[in-house]
Chains A and B, each alone.
Chain A
């Protein structure tokens, strides 16, 4: 469990980092909570590791009226403490353990794109985006930046839209609309493990406290976070009279879980419905009674 040889780089500014990433076959090291185990187990063997921890200006957690922008070096624990977004807070409580959250970054988790991870689901259900930077075409001038929406960002299991040479510099999590609530429900084998299945939900109520919009994103039941808009199935009615059986059926129809050593596909399919109802009910309750 020692990594194969690689060249280590610790650039001091963004431009140097993007130059490196443009020139070498490199992996980005931020929190290292996924990359280092992969290296140690020799499951990844990049020729270069580009440590971005010394880049200035990437640690920000900026909350605005439209949402929160999380910089590439903002640690999960910092984001949780900042209390800038209810759903991020609800999700981060379920992410691993304190020592991992102290180092692990929110953006790193998004780029790692584990289909059982919580943070990609949060980005997906909120319709957020990831900002990717690369060296300017021709090599001089301001870096080229593109914004990739969540539904395009998660391409497959452990596969994001970030291309070789690109660095994810921040992620944007849209704020919840007024009269909205969110929740994250999951079942993991042990506290802090990747979930067997998990569902995060956002519910928005209208002025009569009827369901106006309801969305879920499910983890562990597909190659990427599976987003389902169940607004229509819920119907414009109070949460108490939502036809939950139809809602859970709709969610179950949207996912394609597989067997693995921890749970059968049938169990996960059952679970995702149970968790969807729990998360939606909880989100609706929070929407009706904001803290």
Chain B
């Protein structure tokens, strides 16, 4: 096919719009909407004695002030616990506005609606909330001690405890295997908090016309926000539409829903009969959305002389903040994906998911994997060090071999399905990486080190996505899918898939995502799933359309459909190019008409003689129009993999860490667009460098977030991100028609492990806590120099 675009580095079709300021984000909508702002708790833990709004009432332009007591019963209920799990015995969610108590700095207490955001903030400043501050629970180990409680009815601050055990082939438990192993090591690892920091914060705009509610939200799931809003407001689903317009990044934080604001803003719009809009500012994003990463891990490992792991026992304390709206997905992913590309003898992992008086923890790009990979890769490095072996050799000794797929890790993954890897070639990947970075030739010297890290990522989780494809009578193809876009390049990638499947030039293809008016059934964009789940659904929908087009064209051309192909938007007989019919005409013929509103349409009207008079114009079982809808529901996740290596230099005097080289080998099955995959990897690595060397959430003992601004929360600039060298390996997934695997999160996953490995190599002492700053490296040097 001349329109074979699958696998080509097609330039991103959305970039012109997004890069020249023509994107339309939530805050660009509703210029006349009223503005909402929130009074948020300045205390990490407090009882609310009284709320006095009287001073705010004098603010000119004030429209409404709401506290929890003003909310109707349905609206004021605790927010849903989105992903229940049997182990989550003490799941707790917040009220949309605080009811009697606040549990973290930033929790919304009062909602103000005013003529504009300036006035709304003026009013907020005049509202007096009388708090009785209580000593907060901050810090994982203190919280796990349970002396003070975040929720009075959650003993020990433990929201969930989950133990998973995979015995070895000989039936021994991990602890038995470790006891009997020739070598054992025990250590503790720490990873600090970070967070998704999309360029655009959250935002909600709502318009109520008396019957129908339209909501624009900067969300990763418009369909589910729609259902949540309809449920909370008691509206019939067909009267609610939710659109995710251009979204300036998500990275996980926008999959959480409904946010309090997603309920309160539409409710206020209905109550006031006016358009209402709320745009999150950066400080709100820091203290009122979600964070991730923080874990403490206690590891015991037993291994043989070759470094093969015989038993691994990991106990994890996971800090999930004040509430658990997204369940325990993050620690489940940590404990399962920790295994990476390895087959280890016996495995025991137990996590406790702990409440603290801090911002809630929900998935952030990588979603628990960076922690798990940090644990496993630190373990591999420690084994190598203990045995005096090359670090890649130890990894190689533990790999799952290429002929062992599908490989069952014997665990339950985040989708409730067995953790079975579908395909991969880990030894080859490691060989490619060593070649790319020059592992063997690397010259080690003090202050210069090399590090490595491997991971496997379960991508493309279900339950499903759908695609709708319509060919209109102008020959244009309109593709829609329900999941949302946050800048990943879906408009390009989905158009490439449709162009390849349908044989239509990409210029004639448009793609719409995240608009419930166009597609009502979807899950959302997260877990590196869009290309896998929506991509395959769109391909299947295209195949339906193609089959129908060939059937109609065969009729018109008096040919056998099997002899037809579609090229450049025209159906023709193979080998007889003159016997052809444009897809546009096929679309006309697909829809029998009574009215000829234009020249094309005249060809499909009742006197045009195009249909047999003895049959109904639309045959039984057929539908008018050239369109198709299909769904893809994966049986389980497909497992992508990657291996990274870095060379770092550490300044002997200032303890600054410089990443000199960064190499990535990545396998996400068949590549739809290698340029976009590469871009995803670059972005992921940049975020990973942030997590490894710069970003952390600094809470003090009072539960105040001390660095809630871009001045003190250090995201790397372009000047801090190394040039990234990449290589691709393609082991197609046998699980889906396109053979693709997800790539969205990949780049970020192993970076902390890789940089720790390289810094450790440069310095000669263990690095067990990330991120690491120059000041911390300086302290470590002193401690090790003192012995």
Contacts and interface: CB of A to CB of B under 8 A. Distances in A.
B125 A42 contact: yes
B415 interface: no
Nearest to B777: A267
Interface string A168-198: 0000000000000000000101111100100
Nearest to A191: B719
Interface stretch (A99-107, A202-210, A226-234, A257-265): A257-265
Given A190-B694, A191-B720, A267-B778, A274 B714 contact: no
A4 interface: yes
Nearest to B717: A190
B555 interface: no
Given A190-B714, A192-B717, A193-B714, A263 B694 contact: no
B281 interface: yes
Contacts of A192: 717, 719
Given A190-B716, A190-B717, A3 B125 contact: no
Contacts of A4: 121-122, 125
A270 B720 contact: no
Interface string B33-70: 00000000000000000000000000000000000000
A18 interface: no
A193 B716 CA distance: 11
A55 B114 CA distance: 36
A80 to B, nearest CB: 18
Interface in A267-290: 267, 270-271, 274-275
A2 interface: yes
Contacts of B653: 274
Contacts of A189: 694, 714, 773-774
B283 interface: yes
Given A41-B283, A189-B694, A262-B712, A267 B775 contact: yes
B779 interface: yes
Contacts of A1: 281-283
A5 interface: yes
A245 B370 CA distance: 43
A5 B773 contact: no
Nearest to A187: B654
B719 A190 contact: yes
- Which of A2, A193, A263 has the most chain B CB atoms inside 10 A of its CB? A2
Contacts of B774: 187, 189, 196, 263, 267
B654 A271 contact: yes
Contacts of A263: 773-775
A42 B775 contact: no
Interface in A221-243: none
A259 B281 CA distance: 29
Interface in B701-747: 706-707, 709, 712, 714, 716-717, 719-720
A1 B775 CA distance: 32
B183 interface: no
A271 B694 CA distance: 19
Contacts of A271: 654
Contacts of B778: 264, 266-267, 270
B212 interface: no
B775 A262 contact: yes
A5 B122 contact: yes
A196 B654 CA distance: 11
Interface string B751-773: 00000000000000000000001
Interface string B268-286: 0000000000000111000
B282 A261 contact: no
A45 to B, nearest CB: 9
Interface of A: 1-5, 41-42, 187, 189-193, 196, 261-264, 266-267, 270-271, 274-275
Pick the 9 closest A-B CB pairs, nearest first.
Answer: A191-B719, A263-B775, A1-B281, A267-B775, A2-B118, A261-B698, A274-B653, A267-B778, A2-B121
29 contacts: A1-B282, A2-B121, A3-B118, A4-B121, A5-B118, A5-B122, A41-B283, A42-B125, A187-B654, A187-B656, A187-B774, A189-B714, A189-B774, A190-B716, A190-B720, A191-B717, A196-B774, A196-B775, A261-B707, A261-B712, A262-B712, A263-B774, A264-B779, A266-B778, A267-B655, A267-B778, A267-B779, A271-B654, A274-B653
